[in-house]
């Protein structure tokens, strides 16, 4: 069998590395240095994952659309992110003459700052959380809510009709899908009994018959994960909810007037946000850093976490390549009339799950309730029987 201490050391390798580096400094500086080292690690790792995700997206989308992705730069196009980075850094920075210079400059900076703050509470491995907060999930959602303001700042400061339209659509979409995002997470909080992300992962890190207690393997968890995934796709403005930034719709939506490095900042912010919310989904529903089978517990915990995050990114790319775009009113209808009622019902089903006690009855009852609700709302509730001439409403 594999030597246990070596397995544990591999699991905690980053913690041990950090302690070793910090031990060289005098005692007064050690706390500050440890925090700075952790922050630098996050700022280094996640943009690297961003580069991998961008490459994966371009190659993956290309293959799904029956073409090769970029394949000129480096073997199989592997150095494409470097070429992209160099291009964005050296492009001329054009600011429209009627744009608001201060707000125009601050919008991408604000986005990047706020998006990186969300990583402070994600447990990336055993004992590998930057800040262990009692209300960690609340902090994450507070940071997520602030991204909408940067989108609006970008759209308004460009003094461009299309940017403003894109920004208002994007903000309306993000606000609408924020409620289902929070509500589907509240079911997890209710069952775990804590807002702290470490406790949520610890509650899922148990195994019975070799299978884990991940929340996605319960009826309410599965429905919750599906609703969370839909809301997360809409929150990060990814296809099929990418009307605010679709190229065929609004040029580039709220970042039409951005060029060069500022566009790269927006791009970085969007993808890092996607990685962040995948990390949250993995923590809440997929067990965070815990292994899928009890016998695989020897693999380091951070490998499982990053594996789950990259798997979610692949699913995002898959969705983008497959589904057509939703129209704005279809998007909003979907949010308020389908996803939100289902999340509220999911909350009640999670409560039923908790109070029905162990046994097979709760599986049957909870699954039945959710299936009936889904079919009733999806098939019957979302039917639009009215087909005729379309009535237009103009903005004043």
Nearer to another protein, 168 or 319 (CB): 168
Cβ 164 to another protein, closest distance in Å?
8
C-beta of residue 304 within 8 angstroms of C-beta of residue 212: no
Please list every residue from 364 through 383 that binds another protein, using CB under 8 A: none
Q: Measure Cα distances from 55 to 52, 64, 80, 136, 323 in Å.
A: 5, 14, 7, 31, 20
In sequence order, the 6+-apart residues with CB closer than 8 A to the CB of 363 are: 219
**Nearer Cβ to another protein, position 52 or 168?**
168
Q: Are 307 and 150 in contact (CB under 8 A)?
A: no
Question: Does 135 sit near another protein (CB under 8 A)?
Answer: yes
Q: How far is the CB of 130 from another protein (least distance, A)?
A: 16
282 token code pair? 């993995």
Question: Site for another protein (CB under 8 A): which residue of 63, 74, 134, 327?
Answer: 134
10 counts as binding another protein under rule CB under 8 A: no
Smallest separation (angstroms) from another protein to the CB of 235:
12
Measured from the CB atom, the residue of 280 and 370 that comes closer to another protein is 280
148 near another protein (CB under 8 A): yes
Q: Determine the interface stretch with another protein among 36-44, 78-86, 145-153, 360-368 (rule: CB under 8 A).
A: 145-153
Residue 108 Cα distances to 46, 161, 179, 250, angstroms: 17, 19, 24, 19
152 binds another protein (CB under 8 A): yes
Q: How far is CA 6 from CA 1, 15, 22, 253, in A?
A: 11, 14, 22, 51
Q: What does the alpha-carbon distance between residue 360 and residue 303 come to, in Å, rounded to a whole number?
A: 34
- Determine if 305 is a binding residue for another protein (CB under 8 A): no
CB of 147 to another protein, least distance (A): 9
Does the protein bind another protein through residue 347 (CB under 8 A)? no
Nearest to 308 by CA among 122, 84, 158: 122
Q: How far apart are CA 311 and CA 313, in angstroms?
A: 5
- Considering the complex, what minimum distance in angstroms separates the CB of residue 313 from another protein? 25
The residue from 41, 61, 133, 315 that contacts another protein (CB under 8 A) is 133
Task: Pick the binder of another protein from 194, 259, 330, 367 (CB under 8 A).
Answer: 194
- By beta-carbon proximity to another protein, the closer residue of 143 and 223 is 143
Residue 138 as a binder of another protein (CB under 8 A): the answer is yes
Is 49 among the residues that bind another protein (CB under 8 A)?
no
Which range binds another protein by CB under 8 A, 139-147, 277-285, 287-295, 308-316? 139-147
> Torsions phi, psi of 341, nearest 5?
-60, -35
Q: What is the dihedral of CA 365, 221, 320, 291, to 10 degrees?
A: -130
Rule CB under 8 A: which of 83-112 touch another protein?
100, 103
Residue 178 binding another protein, by CB under 8 A = yes
User: What does the alpha-carbon distance between residue 95 and residue 163 come to, in Å, rounded to a whole number?
Assistant: 14
| SS3 state at 209 | coil
For residue 273, CA distances in Å to 108, 110, 118, 280, 370 come to 13, 13, 9, 10, 30
How far is Cα 46 from Cα 130, in angstroms, rounded to an integer? Answer: 14
* Cβ closest to another protein, residue 331 vs residue 369: 331
Tell me which residues touch another protein (CB under 8 A).
100, 103, 133-135, 138-139, 141-146, 148-149, 152-153, 156, 164, 168, 171, 175, 178, 193-195, 393, 396
């Amino acid at each position: 069998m594999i030597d246990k201490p070596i397995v544990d050391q591999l699991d905690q390798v980053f913690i041990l590395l950090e302690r070793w580096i910090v031990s060289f400094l005098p005692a007064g500086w050690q706390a500050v240095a440890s925090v700075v080292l952790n922050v630098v690690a996050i700022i280094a790792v996640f943009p690297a994952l961003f580069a991998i995700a961008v490459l994966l997206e371009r190659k993956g989308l290309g293959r799904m659309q029956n073409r090769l992705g970029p394949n000129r730069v480096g073997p199989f196009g592997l150095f494409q992110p470097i070429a992209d980075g160099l291009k964005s850094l050296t492009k001329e920075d054009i600011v429209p003459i009627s744009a608001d210079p201060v707000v125009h400059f601050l919008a991408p900076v604000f986005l990047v700052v706020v998006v990186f703050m969300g990583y402070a509470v994600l447990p990336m491995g055993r004992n590998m959380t930057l800040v262990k907060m009692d209300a960690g999930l609340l902090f994450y959602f507070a940071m997520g809510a602030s991204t909408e303001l940067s989108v609006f700042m970008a759209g308004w400061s460009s003094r461009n009709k299309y940017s403003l339209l894109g920004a208002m659509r994007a903000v309306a979409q993000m606000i609408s899908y924020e409620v289902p995002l929070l509500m589907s997470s509240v079911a997890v909080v209710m069952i775990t009994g804590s807002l702290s992300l470490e406790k949520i992962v610890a509650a899922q890190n148990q195994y019975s018959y070799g299978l884990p207690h991940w929340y996605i393997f319960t009826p309410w968890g599965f429905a919750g994960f599906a609703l969370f995934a839909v809301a997360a796709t809409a929150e990060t403005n990814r296809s099929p909810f990418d009307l605010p930034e679709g190229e065929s719709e609004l040029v580039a939506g709220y970042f039409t007037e951005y060029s060069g490095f500022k566009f790269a900042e927006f791009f970085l912010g969007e993808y890092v946000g996607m990685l962040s919310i995948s990390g949250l989904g993995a923590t809440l529903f997929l067990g965070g850093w815990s292994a899928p089978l009890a016998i695989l517990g020897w693999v380091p915990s951070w490998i499982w976490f990053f594996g789950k995050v990259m798997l979610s990114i692949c699913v995002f790319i898959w969705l983008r390549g497959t589904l057509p775009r939703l129209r704005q009113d279809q998007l909003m209808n979907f949010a308020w009339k389908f996803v939100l009622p289902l999340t509220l019902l999911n909350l009640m089903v999670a409560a039923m799950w908790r109070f029905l006690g162990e046994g097979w009855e709760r599986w049957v009852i909870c699954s039945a309730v959710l299936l009936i609700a889904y079919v009733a709302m999806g098939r019957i509730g979302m039917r639009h029987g009215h087909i005729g001439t379309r009535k237009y409403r103009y903005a004043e």
